[in-house]
Amino acid sequence: MIDDLATAIKARYDSSAGAALRAITASGLWFTKAEQAFVSENIEYIVFTWVGSTPNDYMGSGTTSKYEKAEIRFDLYYGEKYGATTITNAVDLLQTLFDWCTLSITGFTHIAFERTGTASVEFVDDIWTATVNYMAWFDG
């Protein structure tokens, strides 16, 4: 299930809908960690992480009807020369791409991809960072 959701997120990023976000994240979208060999010295990439999930049964349904709730975190990284303006633009584009989007998840019927929060933009060790959190709700 984790791999299926990660594949669906990557497919959305790679789709035509993700073109604007891809244009300002030249080093790409990575699951769990960015491979340093592919990340340019001009830092401009996103890492998304499976934070955790919780299965839930509908009341009185036993094992026949349940849904899964998974928390996903997107961390955006930009080098100093791109500045706060570019990272905030990337946050806006990420939210436009993923807020309440439809994903195809093998073996599950997708219900919602809900943004649960956006952390502040920070500048640490010459790198701009921002975090956007989502909750994926799907049944199976």
d(CA 30, CA 133): 15
Percentage of the chain beyond pLDDT 70 is 86
- The band of 93, judged by pLDDT with boundaries at 50, 70 and 90, is very high
For residue 92, the number of C-alpha atoms closer than 13 Å in the C-beta half-sphere is: 8
Is pTM, for the whole model, over 0.85? yes
pLDDT tens profile 22-75: 999 988 999 998 877 666 666 889 999 999 988 777 665 555 667 788 999 999
The 3-class SS string of 22-87 reads HHCCCCCEEECCCCCCCCCCCCEEEEEEEEEEEEEECCCCCCCCEEEEEEEEEEEEEEHHHHHHHH
For residue 60, the model assigns a pLDDT of 58
Structural domains in the chain plus CATH codes: 2-55+66-139 (3.30.2000.10)
Mean pLDDT for 95-104 is 93
Q: Is the pLDDT of residue 21 over 90?
A: yes
Residue with the larger pLDDT of the pair 42 and 15: 15
For residue 22, the model assigns a pLDDT of 95
Which backbone phi and psi does 28 adopt, to 5 degrees? 90, -170
For residue 20, the model assigns a pLDDT of 97
